[in-house]
Amino acid sequence: MTVPKFALIANTDDAIAKRKAEVIIIGTVKADEGGPTLATGADVVDEAFDGTLLDALTSLGATGKAEELVKVPAFGKLGATAVYAVGLGTAKDGEITAQQVRLASGAAARALTDVSRAVTTLSAIDVQAAVEGTALGAYTFTEYKSEQNGTPVGEVDVVAPASDAKSDKKATEKTVTAATAIAEAVIIARDLVNTPPSHLFPASFAERATALGKEHGLDVEVLDEKELEREGFGGILGVGSGSSRPPRLVRLHHKGDKKARKVALVGKGITFDTGGISLKPAASMDKMTSDMAGAAAMLATVVLAAKLHYPVDVTAYLPLAENMPSATAYRPGDVLRMYGGKTVEVLNTDAEGRLVLADAIVRACEDEPDYLIETSTLTGAQVVALGNRTAGVMGSDEFRDRVAELAQRTGEGGWAMPLPEELRGDLDSNLADIANVTGHRWGGMLVAGVFLREFVAANLPWAHIDIAGPSYNSDSPWGYTGKGGTGVPVRTLAAVLADIAENG
């Protein structure tokens, strides 16, 4: 795990101007008319340039548009050797948002290759956003490369917001610590998603989860294929039946305070998805290495809960399987008896995620949580409906809306979606209690949510987050998001746990 080392420095002229570093990062803001303006925190750097910094940046083409990066030599005027001016975009209602700071910080961090130390003044606007954006923007995954093309920034000095109060300084230090831990959790998820299926399969994923759990003081339980069969986990076993690498179910528990709210986290862990007998097209099948992003996010989140000592009782359930076609694979037309006894007619083996999740959801409900959150790369329909950056959030109305709002606050994005009652009839089966897909393609994201609802305990507040698009970036890097696994929705989950800890 490569996360820069962050150090908080005072917001004073001497502390900023004389700080020895290779780069000092400032922000520029796009104006509605005319040229850009300097963002909060850049005034000390401008003073060192005798008030000419903005003219220099404008002459080099700076406009302040989001993620624009303009470099200026410091000419010995600062302790740093160069100034990187990164665009924040247009201020909304006169304010720069946390997400704008996060995106700008990420864009700057991606440009800090082979820089050993940098100073960021973007933290003078929003400390948490600057730290998260910098840490995530600096992320690279090079485990399987024989040669590395540059190294990420090693140390970043974080300029504190202007204040002389000791209490404010302590609070800011706590914010830096928490933001670093959250970024590290996102990176745990990214690393898992980016690990190829040749090296990450159900058993090896379970081993990594066990090691992380023990490192952070979690109670860990792993069920292998024999135990899954003995206890009746028909969904997980059915999906994993075509692979030579048998499935697992991992349960990790962070114990909160005696009266703490209990939260169950369930994440889809299909370590590779061919579609099974209902085989996917060959094009882009390599991206199905990311079909365990939900389980990766839940593992990272329960580890974060332990690391930050969240006063919430958190249990993660990771159903892990590889969906392969073979002589032993489950077939369209099969009926599976799920954990808890409900039966499912399989009409399409490529709708496998909901089958492993159903088993894990029923198991999670046995522990009588106060809330249940599930996340999964579940449907291509999510991408059709909401694109590659906005997750669909379904579930019980009040909790669904709460989760979606927090997802938007974190900058990860989430949109509340309905679970129309009329779709349930489309899942009726002549053979079993329910079918795993409908006979049509309409509302596929919502249909999957309706299916999962069948396995959630009555009256339990729950949310289903479909991250089929947002969990993996196949396009060019942007903001704090590089190519590959994104770690979505770890920051949303962290915000939800913090909100539950504070408000119940």
| Rounded alpha-carbon distances, angstroms, from residue 3 to 109, 135, 172 | 11, 6, 19
* Under 8 Å between Cβ of 293 and 344: no
Average pLDDT of the chain to the nearest whole number? 96
- The average pLDDT across 311-338 equals 98
64-103 pLDDT per residue, tens:
999 999 999 999 999 999 999 999 999 988 899 999 999 9
Q: Please, which pLDDT band fits residue 1 given cuts at 50, 70 and 90? A: low
pTM listed for this prediction: 0.97
Catalytic residue chosen out of the listed positions 354, 400, 402, 491 = 354
Range with the lowest mean pLDDT among 136-150, 295-309, 452-466?
A: 136-150
Domains of the chain (ranges, CATH numbers):
5-185 (3.40.220.10), 195-503 (3.40.630.10)
Catalytic residue chosen out of the listed positions 65, 255, 262, 280 = 280
* Under 8 Å between Cβ of 269 and 249: no
Residue for token pair 């997802």? 407
30 an active-site residue?
Answer: no
pLDDT value at 163 more than 80: no
Q: Please, which pLDDT band fits residue 284 given cuts at 50, 70 and 90? A: confident
CA dist., res. 465 & res. 402, Å (int): 12
pLDDT value at 164 more than 60: no
461-479 pLDDT per residue, tens:
999 999 999 999 999 999 9
CA dist., res. 472 & res. 465, Å (int): 15
CA dist., res. 181 & res. 178, Å (int): 5
354 an active-site residue?
Answer: yes
pLDDT for position 2: 76
